[in-house]
Structure 1
Amino acid sequence: MSAFSDRWTQCMQGSGFPVPTVEDANEALEVLHKVHDAWENSGGEAELTIGALLAAGAVVGVDEGVLATLGEVATVAVGVYISACVACLGSVAFDDLKGLFASNAVPDFVVAQLNSQGVDLGGTVNA
């Protein structure tokens, strides 16, 4: 496991959620993007759970380990889980995210979520 993975896992577990094992911020963003896309393609309703996405086969392109971890939070609303993941990403990989943001590699939903949490990837905290 990488230092990023250790920090992100610790943050997520501190929030009460398991997290898929990834090596860096890029991999974390990729997983979140796939889950977010599946959520949007399924209607993006606030009450939609991760279990509903999994049951519908909507989460594609992720490995079995990610699917197993998502299964552990099947009763959690997708939006809540994504928000927790983005918050932890912002707290443990801010510098990585700033670099990715500068190269337009951060999905819009992540930027919006961080902005709503008072974090500006341009380098300032809005809280």
Structure 2
Amino acid sequence: MSAFSDRWSQCMQGSGFPVPTVDDVNEALDFLHKLHDASENSGGAEVTIGALLAAGAVTGVDEAVLATLGEVAAVAVGVYIGACIACMGSVALDDLKGLFASNEVPDFVVAQLNGQGVDLGGTVNA
């Protein structure tokens, strides 16, 4: 596991959620993007992760990721994504700012962080 993965996992576990093992912030963003797309295509953030899994809506992820998502099947997708983004912001903000400057952060992640008072352009909006 990488330093990012360790810190992200610790934050998520501290919030009561498991998180798939990823090597870096790019892989984490890719995972979240796939989960977000599945949610958008299946009715939005109110749908549960279990409903997405049962419908086969989460694609392009390996079995270990699916198993981790199965552990939080009863959780609304929006709640889980929000927790993931909050932890990512707390453990990899500088990485996210660099990716944002390169226009590589999905809009839903930027919006979620802005809602948490974080401006990836460099300031905190608390």
TM range (shorter): over 0.9
The corresponding residue for 1:100 is 99
The answer on 1:17 being equivalent to 2:41 is no
Code of the aligned partner of 1:50: I
The corresponding residue for 2:38 is 38
Code of the aligned partner of 2:74: T
Determine helix, strand or coil for the equivalent of 1:34. helix
Matches within 5 A, 1:25-104: 25-46=25-46, 48-104=47-103
Q: TM-score normalized by structure 1?
A: 0.98
Shift >2 Å, 4+ stretches:
none
**C-alpha separation between the residues in 2 aligned to 1:39 and 1:97?**
22
**C-alpha separation between the residues in 1 aligned to 2:101 and 2:43?**
30
**C-alpha separation between the residues in 2 aligned to 1:72 and 1:9?**
14
Counting matched residue pairs gives 126
Ranges in structure 2 where 5+ consecutive residues have no aligned partner: none
**C-alpha separation between the residues in 2 aligned to 1:66 and 1:125?**
32
Percent identical among aligned pairs is 85
Q: TM-score normalized by structure 2?
A: 0.99
Deviation at 1:59, TM superposition (A): 0.2
**C-alpha separation between the residues in 1 aligned to 2:104 and 2:3?**
21
Deviation at 1:56, TM superposition (A): 0.1
Call closer, same or farther: CA 1:45–1:20 in 2, change over 3 Å: closer
Ranges in structure 1 where 5+ consecutive residues have no aligned partner: none
Call closer, same or farther: CA 1:45–1:82 in 2, change over 3 Å: closer
Determine helix, strand or coil for the equivalent of 1:20. coil
Deviation at 1:43, TM superposition (A): 1.5
